[in-house]
Amino acid sequence: MKIWNKSLVAFTLLFAISVATTLGQNGHGYDLASLDKNTPACTDFYQYANGGWLSANPIPGAYSAWGVANVLNEKTRDQLREILEAAAKNTNAPKGSSEQKVGDYYASCMDEAKIEAEGLKPLESELARIAKIDNQKALQDEIGHLHAFGINVVFGSGATQDFKNSAEVTESVSQGGLGLPDRDYYLAADKAKVRDEYVKHVAKMLELMGDDPAKAAANAQTILAVETKFAEASLTRVELRDPEKLYHRMTMVQMKDVAPGFDWPNYFQNVGLKQKTDVNVATPNFFTGMGQWLTTTPLSDWQTYLRWHLINASAAALSSKFVDEDFNFKGKVLQGRKENLPRWKRCVSGTDGALGEALGEVYVKTAFPPAAKARALEMVRNLEAALKSDISTLSWMSEPTRKQATVKLDAFLNKIGYPDKWRDYSSLQVDRSSFVGNRIRVNAYENRRDLDKIGQPVDRMEWGMSPPTLNAYYNPQINEIVFPAGILQPPFFDAAADDAFNYGGIGAVIGHEMTHGFDDQGRQFDATGNLANWWTDDDLKSFKERAQCVIDQFSSFEVEKGLNMNGKLVVGESIADLGGLVVAYAAFQKSQVGKPRVVIDGFTPEQRFFLGYARGWATNMRPELARLIAATDPHPLNKFRVNGPLSNMTQFAEAFQCKASDAMVRVQKDRCQIW
């Protein structure tokens, strides 16, 4: 799950970016070298299926994890590099064309000599604005000004579909303003070491901006104190999983009571909101606190805070001394990485992030032929049929709820590969004069595009990921499942591989996203995308009991000594993993009707299904990243995404002839089953 359009709930597959080339018969399928034959399949299937690959693929220094999705990511990045370098060399591309814009953006990012020579110069005008703040109006004007080009200081804001009227787009404001990954990093005792490193990092960055060491150290403590106030008033990650807690619609007049003393009309004008609209205040208690902080915190402290967040948001695009210190904390301390990625890799990813559909339009012409799109859509329809069949036979679901669940499933909007209509970048200016300037203009363009949705019909065909992205998502307010071209390629989807491998791979991905429509969050939205309860009381009680089983299981998984997964945080993704596997397996079984059972490399079709699933999660991970994921990510660690759901499935135990006493087989009373 992630916050979508500032407050909307959406659900992503999220690989801990890992992919091995898992080649079997005729170069397609499972590579036997990936196995760990010393570990029984029924003891630890993740290790059995991936141990050989994990031993042969240590983590490169520039990465915090390395697994089966990284290899695919690298392949995609190489393809994008070819496109971008060709565009950058073509200085005669028509001005305003997508080729000109992606070429100039990439070229400005790669112009290291110019970036080094400019130093902090690209931010001088913004720093001067902050330095001139001498009253509350100037402070609030600056907050709105920074928000207008994507630096969400103090809080977050933007357009969103209304939770209870999904056909309407309104404005939303929510908690934010932190420099550390999460509120708990400011408050939890076990995060004290990271806090200390953060203060050192902030001080070092301020020194690079010209502060003397003593002043920088004092200002770093000021920043920590300001952000700690924000953290204390913020909801936890688990609380943010409840859509009902995030819905508080107000009129513009009522907004006067939210953070008294904050001039909301002036703020909305500063960010570029052109019309009056109702506002969803996602986290009211946070804004009650903000109303107090505005006047009780000295203006000089606010200047220090704003100055820090400007450099924090911009450092990766500045000269090497800022880039290196930014990486020292975000890469080394938080993720355990040993070195930064080469510049070209950062610039390719940056261009995809800034101009994803302009770049994606070229990418899909070579990377995703129409035949692949047709095959993927066929699998989606097969999975939908399997889920419908499953819903029709659920013993714990009554007919009224079953009927509504089927209506919701039938209303799914499927998006495969790339948009039918590409994004219009005509109003965005991109040139080679300044990389930071391009980033600022891109962020301002995205802010304007976002706010222009207010008062307009919802664009149901808009995509939230670029075509090359290796991921997938479900969005409950559109009731859509989306699979970018990036994930629809080997090893997750291979048209030349057998059904078992594909249904275990991309089939489980498809099932995962579909099941999100009925997990602990998705089940709160109806077929039209509105936040509404369509469950009977008894069915909802049964669902919550089954969800609690998943919570308890994942809370028992140990990340490292003294640190377990947070079952309440990962319950949605874990329900989707389990449900996705059950549905994919049923669809696979149906696909085998009338076909001969073929043993390949000694594995039955059923065994290859589960191997196809497990191999996608093969990942070596640094402990720093594992801790970060455990604290902030609604997705469990990859090992648990394999062993957790499979240990609940009789289909797995039967496929590998596991005994009731084996570790991968849960006793009946502890077995979780929802779909």
Q: Cα separation of 495 and 217, whole Å?
A: 58
Strands 413-417 and 480-484 come out as parallel
Please, which residues bridge with residue 3 across strands? 9
d(CA 303, CA 220): 12
Beta bridge partners of 171: 159, 279
CA atoms within 13 A on the CB side of 165: 10
| Residue 566: burial class (beta carbons within 10 Å; 0-12, 13-18, 19+) | buried
Tokens of 377: 């859509």
Strands 279-281 and 249-250: antiparallel
CB 362, CB 90: distance < 8 Å? no
Q: List the beta bridge partners of residue 27.
A: none
DSSP lists the bridge partners of residue 206 as none
Q: How many residues does the chain have?
A: 675
Closest CA to 261 of 294, 231, 286, 284: 294
Measured between alpha carbons, how far is 529 from 135 in angstroms, rounded to an integer? 43
Output phi, psi for 321, to 5 deg: -65, -35
Nearest to 337 by CA among 563, 549, 562, 620: 620
Strands (E), 265-407: 279-281
User: How deeply is 78 buried, as exposed, middle or buried, from its count of CB atoms within 10 A (0-12, 13-18, 19+)?
Assistant: exposed
Closest of 577, 576, 585, 544 to residue 476, by C-alpha: 576
Query: What's CA 76's distance to the chain center, in Å?
Result: 18
Residue from 153, 599, 85 nearest 362 by CA: 85
The whole-angstrom separation of Cα 91 and Cα 166 is: 44
Q: Write the DSSP symbol of residue 374.
A: H
Residue 465, C-beta contacts closer than 8 angstroms, at least 6 positions apart: 356, 471, 473, 482, 484
Catalytic residues: 513, 577
Using a 10 angstrom Cβ sphere, with 0-12 exposed, 13-18 middle and 19 or more buried, the burial of residue 495 is middle
* Of residues 10, 23, 15, 46, the one with CA closest to residue 161: 10
SS3 state of residue 133: coil
User: Under a CB-based contact definition with an 8 Å cutoff, are residues 358 and 426 in contact?
Assistant: no
Asked if 508 contacts 580 with a C-beta cutoff of 8 angstroms, the reply is yes
AA letter at 524:
Q
